Amino acid sequence: MRLPPGAARTRSPRGRSRAAAVLVAAVLVAAVLSGLSPVAPAAPAHADAGQVCRVAFTVTTGGDGLRDDSLETVTLGGAAFLFEDWNGDGADDTPPKPFHQGGTGDRPHTTFTWNAHLSPCVPATALLDGFTFHHLTTVPDWQADNWDLKALRIVDRDSGFVYVDRPPSGALLHRFYKNSDQTWNTNEGRPDTDTDGDGLTDRIELRGIPRPDGTRDTWLPEHGADPCRKTIAVEIDWLDDGQDSDRPSAGAMAEARHMFDSAPVNPAGLCPYGPTPRPGIQLLTDESTAIRVTPAERRRYLFTEGADGRTDFDRYRAGNFPDARNGLFFYSLWGYQYSDSGSSGHSHAGGRSTDFIVTLGSWGDTSDRVQSGTFVHELGHALGLDHGGGDGVNHKPNYLSVMSYTYQLIGVPDMSAWEAAVGRVGDDVDADIWSDTVRSVSSIDYSREKLADLRLARLVESRGVGAGTDLLAAWRDEKLVQRVGDASKGIDWNWSSRGVPDPDPSHEVGVSLMSWTQVCVSPEDPAGSQDGLDSPRHSEDMPFGNQIVTGPDDQCSTPALDGDTQVQPPGFRYPGKDQTLSGFDDWEAISFPIGVSPDAGAPAPETHEPELTEEEGERIVSDLVDALVASVAPAASPSPRWGYAYMDQATAPLNVETALNPTFQWTTGRLDASTAGHRATVRRTGTGAYEVRLPDVASPTGVAHTTAYRTLYRGRTCSVVGQEPSGPDEVIRVACFDHT
């Protein structure tokens, strides 16, 4: 306490008992110190990882300074710090003492630094409860020392980690009085710390989630949640009818965890609780509950509403997901189907951004890769990612992510690994072997870098998409043919040179790379009475699967008949070549909409495109595998001696020579108008018997090598049973049978 100017300190009228007062004060000090954890003064030890030992307290006073005869103690985890210059005279004292007293001079607006240590050191988890300061003065009440703590900084002298940094502001941190407010903790008025910024506080990751009854859900610390490495916790429940279960496979979950573990995401710069962890994200999956249902209940759509307006999903969630985990865990329910769409999953289920469904129960292919790719795809939506990363444009060639349907079910292939794997595959292979080979050289992943934006009207082939690694870029050319290329090299966007990009950086080409997604007419019957595409296609439009899409002009020209759906009317023009496809870095952009994160409670981006169906997924994977196989075929020469064709005309009329798809299915360069009548053909000669004529590849000696690289497709097995030259052509005899 400071006296008014000119005032003299005089003996109190009670001065006759001064000696007794001092004795009482001394007894009081002893009593306070005896309440601390007993420690023996010792030389400062250096902290091991995960411990707190030596710190520096930087204290700034306010308008009321701290008297030299006042005594200050600081504890952490019940242990008292030993002050090395306890009397503030500028020299370390032996032994140190568990308090600081002196050298402060009652000076206002002054900063002091006190070095102190703990002996023994305490576990760093004690930081969760903060540093406790206690003030004690030994002078009589009328001279009591009240002082202002204006700013405080506490730094670990071994690691440099800043435990507390409370700079000066308009308000005091605390005002200490002689007989009240003597104790203050650094946690007062402060939210719990989230060192790694994942929305889960350090306290929750190290001690668990508090429940309303005072207990804790300790699943997170029991499974190694790291407060210095970002953590995503997902509870997984699944339907089980006693015969069939929708539980995810162990292999699929291992793939998903590995993907996050390998993420290019840095941990916290310094970790107060132990060694700085390695990069990556912890994906902790609590495979919690098999929800017992009947077979009929399992097959019922999860979004079926009951009389109370709640869906089956809502009821399953409410009965199995603990309330205490709301807003801290993501929730994933695995089931059969959520609607009649037959899609693989749905994010933001029930309107909650942290909930998602995986519905592969009705799918035929539920391999580990299909499961893991679908799981991280739907989780990606919950983390703020769309089908194009930052936008909803699907299948972008400059976006190499499992969020794109191109890669969801198979992963992102590594081109070098693919080329090496092809050399180990023999001639007698089928579709399953090729698909498995592609999966073996692919990885599920979110995009790791923002690739070059693509202005479709001004594509520079020599630049490609500018990837730093040789992953696979996939696109469709103007004829809607699936093409693939090395994302780290140039790309022949219009396939004008059979995959060889134009090396001139000044040359630009315009290609509507997304025209195959620009649907004009679809086969869905608005009345729901019939399936199949009935509308005749206008010559300006193009067929794609069972839809009619725009041609090179990016404009719809086909009117839909009553049994089809007019997705866009004739005259409607899509963006086409006028658009720019943006690259995106997923790992850099993912958000954590949970806990104390700034993203918690923010609305998740809406995904307008339906999720992937099994039929669409099979087509995507099949086309990608075919394009990869074709990518390692020998290049055509001006006088072709080698070529390939798809024999997809299994319903060719008996003994009628039928052209194989003239748009893209022959690689020998015979695509010019003058040779339109001399291309690959097929003739059905009997039940399951065909002759395929390959122009201009017959060997002069009558010997040609034939490899059937896809011999099993959609339930039909085919094989080469013979071949012979016919003039300049080679005739291949093929036999097929159905698996019925």
Which string of DSSP letters, residue by residue, matches 208-223? -EEPTTS-EE-HHHHT
- Output the six-digit token pair for 192: 């719990």
Q: In 121-158, which positions are buried (b, 16+ CB within 10 angstroms) versus exposed (e)?
A: bbebbbbbebbbbbbbbbbbeeeebbbbbbbbbbbbbb
Q: Is residue 190 part of a domain?
A: no
The pTM of this model reads: 0.82
Q: Is residue 586 part of a domain?
A: yes
Q: 3-state SS of 618-649?
A: HHHHHHHHHHHHHHCCCCCCCCCCCCCCCCCC
Q: Is residue 706 part of a domain?
A: yes
3-class DSSP state of 517: helix
Angstrom distances, CA of residue 455 to CA of 145, 331, 477, 514, 581:
72, 39, 15, 12, 7
Q: Of all residues in the chain, what percent carry a pLDDT higher than 70?
A: 83
Instruction: Give the max Cα distance, the chain.
Output: 133
Angstrom distances, CA of residue 563 to CA of 340, 428, 506, 542, 610:
19, 44, 48, 19, 21
How long a stretch of residues is the chain? 740
527 in the same domain as 434 = no
218 in the same domain as 363 = yes
Answer whether 127's CB lies under 8 Å from 52's CB: yes
Number of domains in the chain: 5
Helices 614-631 + 431-440 axis angle, to 10: 80
- Output the six-digit token pair for 385: 């990612």
DSSP structural state of residue 165: E
Q: What residues contact 160, with CB distance under 8 A and at least 6 apart?
A: 270
Q: Is residue 435 part of a domain?
A: yes
- Output the six-digit token pair for 123: 């576990």
pLDDT of residue 573: 97
65 in the same domain as 96 = yes
646 in the same domain as 500 = no
The answer, yes or no, to whether residue 598 has pLDDT greater than 80, is yes
206 in the same domain as 237 = yes
Q: What is the distance in angstroms between the CA of the first residue and the CA of the last residue of the chain?
A: 98
Q: What residues contact 163, with CB distance under 8 A and at least 6 apart?
A: 52, 55, 127, 131, 154, 155, 156, 272
Quote the CA–CA distance of 326 and 233 in Å, as a whole number: 11
Phi and psi at 484, nearest 5°, equal -135, 155
360 in the same domain as 254 = yes
266 in the same domain as 250 = yes
| Pairing assessment for the beta strands 355-359 and 330-335 based on DSSP bridges | parallel
Nearest in space to 168 (alpha carbons), one of 152, 145, 147: 152
288 in the same domain as 258 = yes
The answer, yes or no, to whether residue 527 has pLDDT greater than 80, is no
274 in the same domain as 211 = yes
Give tens-digit pLDDT for 179-195: 888 999 999 999 999 99
Q: Is residue 394 part of a domain?
A: no
Question: In the structure, what pLDDT confidence band is assigned to residue 425 with cuts at 50, 70 and 90?
Answer: confident
Give tens-digit pLDDT for 618-635: 999 999 998 998 888 655
Which residue range forms the structural domain that includes residue 489? 405-508+581-593+609-619
373 in the same domain as 231 = yes
pLDDT of residue 13: 40
- Other beta carbons within 10 angstroms of residue 87's beta carbon come to 15
Answer whether 498's CB lies under 8 Å from 492's CB: yes
376 in the same domain as 439 = no
Residue type, 535: S
3-class DSSP state of 239: strand
Give tens-digit pLDDT for 82-119: 999 999 999 999 999 999 999 999 999 999 999 999 99
Quote the CA–CA distance of 188 and 61 in Å, as a whole number: 18
What number is the average pLDDT over the span 500-507? 95
Nearest in space to 314 (alpha carbons), one of 305, 323, 326: 305
What number is the average pLDDT over the span 76-80? 97
What number is the average pLDDT over the span 600-617? 79
Q: Is residue 66 part of a domain?
A: yes
588 in the same domain as 447 = yes
Q: Where are the alpha helices (DSSP H) in 494-631?
A: 586-589, 614-631
The answer, yes or no, to whether residue 738 has pLDDT greater than 80, is no
- Output the six-digit token pair for 248: 């995810």
Angstrom distances, CA of residue 161 to CA of 43, 51, 270, 558:
21, 12, 6, 67
The overall average pLDDT reported for the chain is: 86
Which of 20-24, 208-212, 284-288 is least confident? 20-24
Q: Is residue 128 part of a domain?
A: yes
